[in-house]
């Protein structure tokens, strides 16, 4: 699937780079690149903030869930990751309210 986005890149005072999709397929996606290291080694941390709308599109081929028979049952590890993410999201939105 071909995707196109308009990105707004901003260098932060600490040397990090924030990239935000302001228009296009992945609108509202934010990526933060943080850098550390020395003359011989560079470490890059990348953090993605994906809007719920984007996650829903990502899993759309499995709409109806695994019980509908349209996609395979998730592994225990995958199910645990999704449960943890859902719990963190609920905690974050509860704090914001």
Supply the pLDDT for residue 46. Answer: 92
Please write the tens of the pLDDT for every residue from 6-65.
Answer: 899 999 999 899 999 888 877 888 899 999 888 888 899 999 887 776 666 666 555 555
b/e for 29-47, b at 16 or more Cβ within 10 A? bebebeeeeeeeeeeeeee
Residues 48 and 69 in one domain: no
Residues 65 and 43 in one domain: no
- What dihedral do alpha carbons 30, 1, 63, 74 form, nearest 10°? -80
Residues 16 and 32 in one domain: yes
Q: Does the predicted TM-score (pTM) go above 0.75?
A: no
Please write the tens of the pLDDT for every residue from 56-97.
Answer: 666 655 555 545 555 666 667 777 777 887 787 777 766 655
Provide the residue range defining the domain that includes 76. Answer: 59-97
Residues 9 and 48 in one domain: yes
Supply the pLDDT for residue 29. Answer: 85
């Amino acid at each position: 699937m071909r995707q196109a986005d308009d990105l707004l890149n901003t260098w932060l005072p600490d040397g990090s780079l924030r990239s935000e999709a302001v228009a296009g397929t992945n609108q509202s996606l934010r990526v933060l690149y943080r850098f550390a290291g020395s003359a011989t080694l560079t470490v890059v941390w990348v953090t993605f903030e994906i809007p719920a709308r984007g996650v829903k599109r990502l899993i759309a081929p499995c709409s109806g869930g695994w019980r509908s028979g349209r996609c395979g049952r998730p592994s225990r590890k995958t199910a645990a990751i999704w449960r943890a993410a859902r719990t963190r999201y609920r905690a974050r939105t509860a704090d914001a309210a």
